[in-house]
Homo-oligomer: A and B are copies of this chain.
Amino acid sequence: MKPTFMGASTKQGYAIAARSREIVRSLINEKTKDLTAEERSIVERIVHSTADPEYADITRMSNDFVLRTLEAVSQGKDILTDISMVKSGINKYIGDVKCYINNEKTIEIAGNTEITRAAAAMEVAASEGFDGVVVIGNAPTALWKVMELVENRSMNVSAVIGVPVGFVGAAESKKALEETSIPNLITQGPKGGTPVAVAAINSLINISRNKR
């Protein structure tokens, strides 16, 4: 597999990514000084992907998040995303990346109940025996559903990257996740989204690959 650096795979791409990483470091160095090298690397990639240094203030990792995610990812356990956009940003993973948002059962459940398709997709994943890392970049409703399924022992998760975005329910869902015993990465407040989710999981995939 061709080596990549922060998503870049050409000479020009590497040069841009390397210069960007330097700038990011200079912007968030002080804010990340108490993090481990791996945590700092994850936060740097999130700031690189969003060009928004505020993510160094609001990104939080709990319950051995890095350790648990690296264990799962190094074993090639499944990754589950809430929406297709997050799935399509995850690259060079040795395992499967799953997304049930357009699954027939998901559409049927969402049509017959009051829940969103993103939440219904989590039920479908659980019913198919999902076991791995959940990556939620968009929908608070999906994150609430994952917490409910884990609480009910209906779903096995190694870790949850929970960074839904928005002014309605996102902050509350992330705060709730942080208070569970699930290994998790969240962003405090309304901010988050696909690039944050993708940066976090790709960073961990990359760390895992470099350890082999």
Q: Which residues of A contact B (CB under 8 A)?
A: 8-13, 16, 19-20, 23-24, 27, 48-52, 84-85, 87-89, 110-111, 114-117, 119, 140-141, 165-170, 189-195, 198
Contact = CB atoms under 8 A, between A and B. Distances in A.
A24 B85 contact: no
A117 B167 contact: no
A168 B116 contact: no
Nearest to A9: B117
A79 B159 CA distance: 36
Given A20-B168, A115-B10, A194 B85 contact: yes
A207 B111 CA distance: 25
Name the 4 nearest CB pairs between A and B, nearest first: A51-B190, A88-B88, A23-B167, A85-B89
Nearest to A115: B12
A29 to B, nearest CB: 14
A151 B115 CA distance: 49
A49 B193 contact: yes
A24 B166 CA distance: 9
Contacts of A194: 85, 89, 194-195
A190 B51 CA distance: 6
Contacts of A27: 167
B115 A165 contact: no
A23 B171 CA distance: 14
Contact of A191 (B9, B10, B12, B50): B50
